[in-house]
Structure 1
Amino acid sequence: MRAVIATDLSDAMDTAIESRVCLECLARYGIDGVDLVTVTSPNVTTGMPGSDVGSRTKRVLERHQAALEAEGFDVAVHVVRGTPHRRVNGLADRVHADLVVVGSRGKSPLEERFIGGTTRDMIRTATRPLLLERIRRESEDDYEVAYEHLFRRVLYATDFSENAERAFDQFRHLKHAAREATLLHVAPPDRRADPEAVDDASGRLEELADELEGKGIDDVRTMVRTGESTEEILAAEAEVKPTTVLMGARGRGRIRRLLVGSTSESVAARSDSNVLLVPPTRQG
């Protein structure tokens, strides 16, 4: 299995790529090959007189490559120019990546600013399972990954749709890394007074829990909440404190993806955990 790891050569991504525990988690997921990619602006010319852009890029990528190879990964390095999300997605499709990993610095003190840039574009256009690895800023020059054990505790949110089922299929890989799983369904507010709907959801979650226990994940709990999806998923996250939230991403057409407001995007913007988003199967 191959993963595309996108790096902007920042200190934050240094922290993520050089964390041995995080890399061990990727190996337990099944990753044995890594395509390490950085995307430079079309307006930046490497090797310009007085500029060390080219040499710095080479030094950082060589260090990342060495760290990955030391953990046993087969590594290919790519330096490309263009729009980051397009080039990363294009590479992921070309190498048939099983996972794309993007670092997310999470919430700034003033705003949830990361959702405004490349990460938001990746969420909206991903064609492969996308892991947003949360990186915290401890001080001006110091970062740490939010959870080194990326997949130890998984919160899986489902609306029982086909796309949610596709996300659940990730447990084929996560079973080797997960020790705990919480299966969550959020019922719309108008079903609050419908005990049959709640019982049906509970029963379906129990069936999924039995399936996970059959895969070797012994600590599985189920949870049915009622209310607005994003708020209830985040409330459940605060309660169970997962290392990763797993959910399906609806996917959007060329026009619809310009709109903001999907549950997956909102959770990704506001979650404190890593987020693993699984896009729908591509048509055609």
Structure 2
Amino acid sequence: MKAVYATDLSAASEAAIETETCLECLSRIGVEQLHLVTVVPANVHAGTPGIDHQKRRRRALARYRDVIEDAGLDVETHAVRGTPHRRINGVAEAVGADLSIVGSRGKQPLENRLIGSTTRNLARTTVVPLLVNRIEREVDEPELVEKQLFRRLLYATDFSTNADRAFEAFSYLRHATREATLVHVESPNSPGPDGDVTAEDRLSELADRLEEWDIDATIDVREGAPADELLEAEATHEPTTTLLGTRGHSRLRRLLLGSVSETVVANARGNVLLVPPK
């Protein structure tokens, strides 16, 4: 597998990229090659006297190479110019990436949790699974909120085709996953699976499949507003990553994040893995 890691070369990004446990997790799910991408924003003037922004970023990217190679991964670096999410997606498509990764700051207690525009735009437009890697904010030496990226997963499903596609990610995540909680929220817009099969029955079938991969699986059926209940489920089960599919199309964007997915990726405490439709 190939993965693209988007970095702004900040201390937070450095903490994520150089976390040995994080790199081991990526290796465990089959990532063999990591493409580090940093983008000089289009609004940064290319002709600033005495400053070559791309050259400075290439030098900074080179500092990460030894750490990543020591973890057993091949490394390619890309310092490009333009609109960040477009260039990151462009590199992902050009190299045939199977996964994109972007760091996102968490929140302090009692604050609203926000995600940056690059993360939000990547979540809305990615054509490959996107891991939003949560990083501590407003600390001098930030670290990942959850270093064991895939050890405990919370999988959210409304039994749609897109949710089924997200479940397929367990085919490679299982090599790093020990526990999984399968969650469905019943609401007027998502009543449950078709036919006479109950949500509990369908989740149990999925749990049995995970048990065959030695993943300890439990189910959780809730009622209420899906986004609110999924965030409550995350607080209850404390997964390292929440896995869910995105859905919807828009004439203005190639893919438009569903309101539930957008709320979860913006407000989850831990990591979020978004799987887009084909």
Which residue of structure 1 aligns with residue 219 of structure 2? 222
Query: Which deviates further from its counterpart, 82-91 or 249-258?
Result: 249-258
Tell me the matched-pair count. 276
| Whole-angstrom CA distance in 1 between matches of 2:16 and 2:137 | 12
Once the two structures are superposed, the pairs formed by residues 106-255 of structure 1 within 5 Å of their partners are: 106-107=106-107, 110-115=111-116, 117-137=117-137, 139=139, 141-188=140-187, 200-217=198-215, 219-255=216-252
| Whole-angstrom CA distance in 2 between matches of 1:138 and 1:197 | 50
The question of 1:30 aligning with 2:30 is answered yes
Query: Which deviates further from its counterpart, 3-12 or 244-253?
Result: 244-253
Displacement of 1:53 after TM fit?
A: 3.7
Displacement of 1:49 after TM fit?
A: 3.8
| Whole-angstrom CA distance in 1 between matches of 2:208 and 2:3 | 29
Contact 2:149/2:271 (CA < 8 Å) preserved in 1? yes
The question of 1:270 aligning with 2:271 is answered no
Question: Structure 1 or 2: larger helix share?
Answer: 1
SS of equivalent residue, structure 1 residue 35: strand
| Whole-angstrom CA distance in 2 between matches of 1:215 and 1:233 | 25
Contact 2:246/2:275 (CA < 8 Å) preserved in 1? yes
**Aligned-pair Cα RMSD in Å:** 2.5
| Whole-angstrom CA distance in 2 between matches of 1:191 and 1:128 | 25
Contact 1:47/1:53 (CA < 8 Å) preserved in 2? no
Q: 4+ residue stretches of structure 1 with deviation over 6 A?
A: 196-199, 256-261
Which residue of structure 2 aligns with residue 58 of structure 1? 58
Q: 1:237 to 1:229 in 2, by over 3 A?
A: same
Q: 1:81 to 1:215 in 2, by over 3 A?
A: same
Q: 1:161 to 1:240 in 2, by over 3 A?
A: same
Displacement of 1:190 after TM fit?
A: 8.6
User: 1:6-35, CA deviations, whole angstroms, 9 ceiling, x for partnerless residues?
Assistant: 000110000000000000000011100011
User: 1:72-98, CA deviations, whole angstroms, 9 ceiling, x for partnerless residues?
Assistant: 111111111111111111111111111
Displacement of 1:252 after TM fit?
A: 2.9
Displacement of 1:273 after TM fit?
A: 1.0
Flag structure 1 segments of 5+ consecutive residues without an equivalent: none
Displacement of 1:111 after TM fit?
A: 3.5
Q: 1:112 to 1:258 in 2, by over 3 A?
A: farther
| Whole-angstrom CA distance in 1 between matches of 2:220 and 2:196 | 10
SS of equivalent residue, structure 2 residue 142: strand
Which residue of structure 1 aligns with residue 84 of structure 2? 84
Displacement of 1:266 after TM fit?
A: 0.5
Q: Which amino acid aligns with 1:94?
A: A
Displacement of 1:69 after TM fit?
A: 1.1
Q: 1:151 to 1:212 in 2, by over 3 A?
A: same
SS of equivalent residue, structure 1 residue 276: strand
| Whole-angstrom CA distance in 2 between matches of 1:255 and 1:42 | 21
Flag structure 2 segments of 5+ consecutive residues without an equivalent: none
Displacement of 1:147 after TM fit?
A: 0.7
Once the two structures are superposed, the pairs formed by residues 38-49 of structure 1 within 5 Å of their partners are: 38-44=38-44, 48-49=48-49
Q: Which amino acid aligns with 2:149?
A: L
What is the TM-score when the length of structure 1 is the normalising length? 0.89
| Whole-angstrom CA distance in 1 between matches of 2:153 and 2:203 | 15
| Whole-angstrom CA distance in 2 between matches of 1:199 and 1:13 | 45
Displacement of 1:214 after TM fit?
A: 1.0
